[in-house]
Structure 1
Amino acid sequence: MADSYAVHQGKEYEASGRPPGRMALYDGDVLVAEVPIGELDEWYTVRTWGTFLEHEFEVADERDGRYSLFMTAGDGKWAERVWAEPERHPEVQFQRMDRMTFAAVAPKHMVSNLREERVDNLGPWRKEQEERESRES
């Protein structure tokens, strides 16, 4: 469940990118402001991870007592085996998105060790801007 947030003038908002270099700030579903990314105090993404069948997956969604899970790369050989035998886990909906991306919709009780990971977006954005400016000067 990756969610993007921004802090502007000390207040936290849900955030959505508005190119070029702008961020839309929301309070719930209400657009509060659209500001240049450089004016933000913080900008980060929160991603949720969990363990499913003893492997780590990103939790993309929670609905009706089930999690939507994604594994990109990881243990591809294990995933190929499990996804090839969906009858072993009839309560799970398996889908192979491409060669190295595997998705599953699984009952919540099959997913453990949920944890959130906060990823800074503003620091890398500022570094990229500085590098661009130094190349142009």
Structure 2
Amino acid sequence: MALTEKKKAFALAKRNGKDNKEAAILAGCPEKTASAAGARLAKDPDVIAYLERLEKATPEQVVKHDVKPLTTNTTIQAAKNLADPLAFLESVYTDPVEDMALRVRAAQAALPYVHGKVAEKGKKETKAETAREGSKSGKFATLDNQLMS
């Protein structure tokens, strides 16, 4: 399964020092089932992987990943520094702390700008290539190609 908002909220609460039950309640689980949900979420592979990514992250990267992030003047200025949209997309898909689904979407959006689309050859290109191949050997080969063989 993917990292949902509930799992992300649970992981952030765990990182802030809450126990499983408190973190599950903060993530939006009912109080009656919070201890069971907390134990289940603590063992979830997505939550464990997200916590490991948060441990490896720099403090600036962790601050921007709140469950409901606030847009501040600092984040607006940071976005203005990247005037090139491709550079912005590149910064998103190379950010190890960013949500994987968002990273994939950013990489898909940047793909046409980095790697050109491979298209089929047109009629003229195919005709020219056939003529080139025909001139290398056989009855209609050019003089240079006939002398080489």
Query: Which bin holds the TM-score, normalised by the shorter protein?
Result: under 0.3
More strand by share: 1
Q: TM-score, normalised by structure 2?
A: 0.26
- Structure richer in helix, relative to its length: 2
Structure with larger Rg: 2
TM-score scaled by structure 1?
A: 0.27
